[in-house]
């Protein structure tokens, strides 16, 4: 079934089941993302792709990568509110990731005028991790290997990405996690192969 909706004033006809992000791409509107990858299921955690939608008279902010298209939706992808939101999200992410991020995140930061050092003084006792826990590396590994070599552990601010030594043999031929990282943490030239601490080290508090 085909639905019609408006994105930034442009009329779009999209198939039911598509997300706003995909529908926008059809008409050439690029909504910025950090944790989105075409080949993987949308995760919806970076919230950079937040857009304003209007339905039944109410304005809401939703993540474009997850929200399914609806008939008669009115979407705004660029407004002062949304731009400020993206700027502050980048600044918050840099609080623990540090200013030394590269790749997609740095490009977005300069586009939205985010001061990546804004909240660093508050968290000065924490080593910058260069990781925003977008999960692209984990999701890539799971999709390629089911019983993945890397994964999340912990909850909240203790959430980390670790590698399981038992599965490390998978990494000998695979480099998927390095190709998708948006901050340059898991990039081809950084750190050991693979670039994650082992689960035993993290649980024992050594890393």
Q: Which residues bind another protein (CB under 8 A)?
A: 43-47, 50, 61-63, 66-68, 81, 84-85, 88-89, 92-93, 95-96, 119, 122-123, 132-133, 135, 138, 142, 146-148, 150-159, 162, 164, 166-167, 199-200, 203-204
CB of 59 to another protein, least distance (A): 10
Nearer to another protein, 2 or 203 (CB): 203
CB of 27 to another protein, least distance (A): 21
Nearer to another protein, 164 or 176 (CB): 164
Q: Between β-strands 150-153 and 74-76, what pairing exists: parallel, antiparallel or unpaired?
A: unpaired
CB of 188 to another protein, least distance (A): 23
CB of 23 to another protein, least distance (A): 14
**Angle between helix 103-112 and helix 80-97 axes, rounded to 10 deg:** 140
Nearer to another protein, 169 or 189 (CB): 169
The label of the residue with tokens 């590396």 reads 137
Burial of 6 (0-12, 13-18, 19+ CB in 10 A): middle
CB of 189 to another protein, least distance (A): 26
Candidates 121, 122, 116, 148; CA nearest to 135 is: 148
Nearer to another protein, 28 or 58 (CB): 58
CA–CA gap between residue 69 and residue 66 (Å, rounded) = 9
Nearer to another protein, 138 or 180 (CB): 138
> Using alpha carbons only, what angle is made at residue 79 by residues 109 and 91, rounded to the nearest 5 degrees?
25
Are the C-beta atoms of 180 and 37 separated by less than 8 Å?
Answer: yes
């Amino acid at each position: 079934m085909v639905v019609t909706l408006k994105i930034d004033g442009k009329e779009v006809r999209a198939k039911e089941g598509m997300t706003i992000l995909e529908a926008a791409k059809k008409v050439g509107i690029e909504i910025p993302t950090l944790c989105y990858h075409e080949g993987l299921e949308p995760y919806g955690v970076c919230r950079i792709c937040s857009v304003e939608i209007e339905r039944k008279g109410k304005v809401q902010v939703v993540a474009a990568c997850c929200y399914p298209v609806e008939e008669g939706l009115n979407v705004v992808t660029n407004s002062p509110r949304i731009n400020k939101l993206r700027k502050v999200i980048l600044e918050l992410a840099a609080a623990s990731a540090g200013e030394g991020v590269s790749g997609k995140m740095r490009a977005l930061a300069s586009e939205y005028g985010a001061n990546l050092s804004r909240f660093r003084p508050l968290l000065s006792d924490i080593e910058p991790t260069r990781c925003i826990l977008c999960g692209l590396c984990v999701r890539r590994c799971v999709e390629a290997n089911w019983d993945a070599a890397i994964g999340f552990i912990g909850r909240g601010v203790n959430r980390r990405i670790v590698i399981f030594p038992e599965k490390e043999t998978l990494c000998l031929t695979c480099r998927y996690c390095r190709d998708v990282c948006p901050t340059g943490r898991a990039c081809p030239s950084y750190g050991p192969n693979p670039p994650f601490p082992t689960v035993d080290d993290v649980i024992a508090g050594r890393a």
